[in-house]
Amino acid sequence: MYTKHGARLLLSVSLLLRAVPGVAAVEVSRPWTPADGHLGDTNNGCDQSPPLPPSEVDVIVVGGYTTLVLEATHLLGGKSRSQRLKTGPGIAELGATWINNKTQKTVYEYSERFGLDTVVQYTDGDTIFQGEDGEVTRSTPGDDFEPEDPELALQEAAWSLLIEESAAKINVSDWGSFPEKKDVSFADWLDIYKMWEKPHLRALSRGLSRAIVGREPEDIGAHYFLDYIKSGGGLRSLMFEDQEGAQFQWIKQGTTAIATSLAEAMTPGSVLIHSPVHSVVQQNGISIITIESGQSFRAKKVIIAVTQNVYNKITFSPPLPCDKRNLVSHTKPGIYAKMPLTYSKSWWRDAGLVGKFTSLAGPACFGWEISDASQDLYALMVFIAGSIAEKWGALPADEKETSIIEHLGEIFGKDLANEARDVREVQYVEWTTEEYFLGGPTTTLGAGMLRKYGAAMREPFENLHFAGTETAFEWKGYLEGAVTAGQRAAQEVVDGLTETKKA
């Protein structure tokens, strides 16, 4: 039974709880229950199940009507993945981590509504930067990574100003407004301004595109990249952790708690886990969705909330329109891995460091700290991205961990190297190897592709509606974008069903 308040809540569930394609399910499809919890661990929740939901519903993956959500794995939340620590009461965030109560109001409101505890990111201390040549510098607050060489400092200021001002001019809903002559790769766009030829700026550009979308500047379109930056409030917003920054707050219970709280607000038994979608057949105004186990469901509306690069794992009948198929064929997932390392104390704070670092040399590309004494949690969240992640991903599992730990010892310096090596627990996920994602934090587009296929990205096809963080107008690739894209698709569905009832 839904109240008006509850129905409104459920409008955003379509993104966080995904109808997901994939290969044959390892486990039997079954309803998710609150007993499954929200923290990932070794138990995949194969306990006794409540009765299966009806096979005929109004909507697949949306709220306010008879509703069914199909999730391929046993974990809700998509790229929001909060993992239980084995060595303490805290959690390791392997996916989405940070929010902002001022610039990401939708997801923050959910955290408040569900009684989740937020922590302001620690900002008291120096940052560390390592150049491509391996040289390490320590910067005081407010001067993050500014080079000592005056010439390089001037180059860097001009570079960041160009990107910031160009992104600010982007119209995120008018894909034809970007200058056609500049609709080239990000690398070639920088070359237009004589910046790609400068080694320092070329290295910074590589570090920037890896960090933000997990790809190299040659791989992504300038229009796409500037649009992405604009959607996140600008370059400074994406890079910083102050009141205006994307890394301003984090959730003690983990971001996955938002997804599971939404699931608990739904009718019991209406969220199926271990249920990867095999096919979607549209016929006579009804969609028939078949999961890998062979079970089928009939729905008036379907929201596809998976990342675009895995659309081709679903068999659509009739096929998706040509523009949407072309969009799918031109998207490339970001190459991204995340490795939280936990310690017995926040030794970096004791040394006057904030726990934030950037390395253009790798393999640890950048990171922030997450600490909470009440949970005995002291962690460095390490990101590995782009071509560096591709090379790192080829290493044996034990070498992957060792290479990151040793690199931290290197960039934090000899006086702190032993502290960096004294790791309590290591967890990591390579999003590129996750079969229902194949990358992260988003999918990317090459030169000219956003102009050509921007409209097709969100366009419904008969009774299919498309969500996913890539389809957000604001905060693409972030939890905020995931939720608002789900709300948009949900509203499309509600409007469509309302019109049908009137007719």
**pLDDT mean across residues, the chain:** 89
Taking 80 as the threshold, does the pLDDT of residue 162 lie above it? yes
Q: According to the model, what pLDDT value does residue 144 have?
A: 55
* 167 has a pLDDT exceeding 60: yes
pLDDT of 145 reads 61
Residue 15: what pLDDT?
A: 31
DSSP state of 204: H
Please give the pLDDT value at position 48.
43
Q: Once rounded to an integer, what is the mean pLDDT over residues 298-307?
A: 94
| CA nearest to 211, candidates 225, 227, 201, 193 | 225
Q: What digits encode the pLDDT tens for the residues 129-138?
A: 999 999 999 9
pLDDT of res. 503: 63
Q: Cβ of 242: how many Cβ atoms within 10 Å?
A: 14
Say if CB 229 and CB 238 are below 8 A apart.
yes
pLDDT tens digit sequence for 467-501: 999 999 999 999 999 999 999 999 999 999 988 77
Binding site membership for substrate: which residues?
383
Bond into 318 cis (ω within 30): yes
Q: Which of the pair, 162 or 52, is modelled with greater confidence?
A: 162
Phi, psi for residue 272 in degrees, rounded to 5: -100, 130
Whole-angstrom distance, CA of residue 313 vs CA of residue 274: 16
**What residue spans of 394-439 are helical by DSSP H?**
397-412, 417-421
User: What pLDDT score does 428 carry?
Assistant: 96
d(CA 181, CA 464): 35
Mean pLDDT of 347-373: 98
Q: Is a pLDDT exceeding 80 seen at residue 157? A: yes
pLDDT at 347: 99
Q: What is the pLDDT of residue 16?
A: 33
Share of the chain above pLDDT 70, in %: 87
| 203 CB-side CA count, 13 A | 17
pLDDT category of residue 392 using cuts at 50, 70 and 90? very high
Over residues 212-227, mean pLDDT: 99
Binding-site residues sit at 71-72, 277, 383, 470
- The string of pLDDT tens digits covering residues 6-61 is 323 233 333 333 443 333 334 677 776 777 766 666 444 444 444 455 566 665 54
Q: Residue 185 in contact with residue 215, Cβ under 8 Å?
A: no
Tens of pLDDT, residues 444-464: 999 999 999 999 999 999 999
Give the annotated binding-site residues for FAD.
Answer: 71-72, 277, 470
What percent of the chain has pLDDT above 90? 78
Contact 270, 3 (CB under 8 A): no
Q: What is the pLDDT of residue 26?
A: 41
414 pLDDT higher than 60: yes
Nearest-angstrom CA–CA distance, 480 and 503: 35
Structural contact between residues 146 and 156, judged by C-beta atoms closer than 8 angstroms:
yes
Residue 26 vs residues 269, 273, 274: alpha-carbon distances, Å = 20, 11, 7
Topology adopted by domain 4-80+255-320+461-502 = FAD/NAD(P)-binding domain (3.50.50)
User: pTM to 2 decimals?
Assistant: 0.89
